[in-house]
Structure 1
Amino acid sequence: MLRLTNILMIFVLSFSLSAFSSEPSAPSPYAVLENVGNKLFNRIAASRQEINKFPSLMQDIVEEELMPSIDYQYASYRILGKHLRKTSAAQREQFVSSMRNYLSRTYATALTKYKNQQVIFEPEKSVANKKIVGIKMQIVELNNPTIDVIFKMRKNKKTGEWKAFDMVVEGISLLSSKEAELSTRIAKQGIEQVSVELASIAK
């Protein structure tokens, strides 16, 4: 059975949490994180019987509830790391598209293991004048240790949106792990080949 730690990957490698506007009255990153998380998990819980009969429904839920809030472009660029400056616009576009589809498929698969665990969000704190914040969330499951998760969120200076670009689980950065995994492959095979491989996995 997939461990709960892996289930947490649904929140992404590059999970984007939009604050909808840069106005003072707009939701804080704390409020947006809780809203997006609760909405996603509540829909899964309400659709559990249908998902059991039609597993492909989870993909629809991910596309409707999660993917609109995924900053897959920023995450993709972070994953490319040192290779980014060596790529053309067309290569970057292909890689971002492949990564988006890969993430969507990965999250849908992981979410099938979600069984209504309790999710506790960190209380609100001031984010005044901050561009990056880390927000803690706890996953509580009966007879299992509580898992602490830190979402690293960045405020887009152009749109005012807060987007989570990384998640740290048990001290391990999922973004850094993916970057390390793909960096060597990109160096050896090239970004276009890696993009094709990611796209094939997502099918």
Structure 2
Amino acid sequence: MWYRNSKSLTSLVAGLVLTLLLPLQALAEEQMPDPAQMVEETANEIIAALQERRESMKDDPEALYAFVEDLLLPVFDVPYSTRLVLGRHGRDASPEQRRAFGEAFYRFLVRSYADGMVEYTPNDLEIRVQPVRGELNPDRTRVRTQIVRPGGSNIPVDYTLRYRDGEWRVFDVTIEGVSYVTNYRNSFDSEIRQRGLDAVIERLEERASRKADELEESLEGQSEDGE
């Protein structure tokens, strides 16, 4: 009786393991697209779209935000990235706090990217994408690129992606060796421990609003200079 129960238990465990491994096996057998090619195609699309819509966005911050969101949402794994940034504090947070933090952090990112985008013209942007070395890891694959600056040193920018639901999504960006996930996680970790998560969420919302005001002033200044 003990032997039969033990054998049944072994079969059950083996079955569970196989069940858990089946999605990974299917993922391995699936032909994953080239993430470097995806990054390059997306970068070219962004540059072309920026060149086409730049004039119409000069006096319209909301149009610029919508443009950035159109770029971020399809290729950026915002929920996963936010979870990494929140780190261990996410385990102690309520669902409402996690949602509020994610929304505030996303608004801050959109406004930060929009603010940075104002500084560049499409002619300033040339991105060189390097092929991925080694086997693709569906959980973590890095694509290395360089932003070429005329008359200046190139800027290394690495994108870390994971493969889910048939597509690659970026969850971290490393600029000149500095990971944005690690940078924000370290910054928020000390602040959450000192002030609490709700205070950090409130500060993020304030920073996002301040970014919006700064962007509006910058666009108004550019419009006046062009007159």
TM-score category of the 2 structures, normalised to the smaller one? 0.7 to 0.9
Higher relative contact order (CA 8 A, sep 6+): 1
For structure 2, which runs of at least 5 residues remain unmatched after alignment?
1-26, 210-227
Specify which of 135, 140, 160 is matched with residue 132 of structure 1: 140
SS state at 1:167 partner: strand
Are residues 1:60 and 2:70 paired? Answer: no
SS at match of 1:137: strand
TM superposition shift of 1:145: 0.3
Partner of 2:223: none
1:193 pairs with one of 187, 195, 199: 199
Letter in 1 for 2:148: V
Determine if contact 2:81/2:171 at 8 Å carries over to the other structure. Answer: yes
Q: Matched residues in 2 for 1:53 and 1:130: separation?
A: 41
Residue from 35, 52, 56 that aligns with 1:50: 56
Q: CA deviation at 1:109?
A: 0.9
Overall identity of the aligned pairs, in %: 26
Q: CA deviation at 1:125?
A: 5.2
**Does the CA contact (< 8 Å) of 1:135 and 1:150 recur in 2?**
yes
Higher fraction of helix: 2
- Provide the rounded CA distance (Å) in 1 between the counterparts of 2:112 and 2:28: 31
Report the structure number with the largest CA radius of gyration: 2
Partner of 2:94: 88
Q: CA deviation at 1:155?
A: 2.3
Aligned length: 181
Taking the TM superposition and a 5 Å limit, the aligned residue runs for 1:3-152 are: 24=30, 27-116=33-122, 117-123=125-131, 127-128=135-136, 130-152=138-160
Gaps of 5+ in 1: 1-20
Instruction: Specify the code of the residue in structure 2 equivalent to 1:143.
Output: G
2:161 matched to which residue of 1? 153
CA distance, structure 1, for counterparts of residue 160 and residue 39 of structure 2: 11
Contact 2:131–2:143 (CA under 8 A) maintained in structure 1: no
**Aligned-residue CA RMSD in angstroms?**
2.3
Q: Retained in 1: the 8 A contact 2:158–2:173?
A: yes
What are the Cα deviations for residues 46-81 of structure 1, in whole angstroms up to 9, with x where unaligned? Answer: 223223344443212112232333222111111111
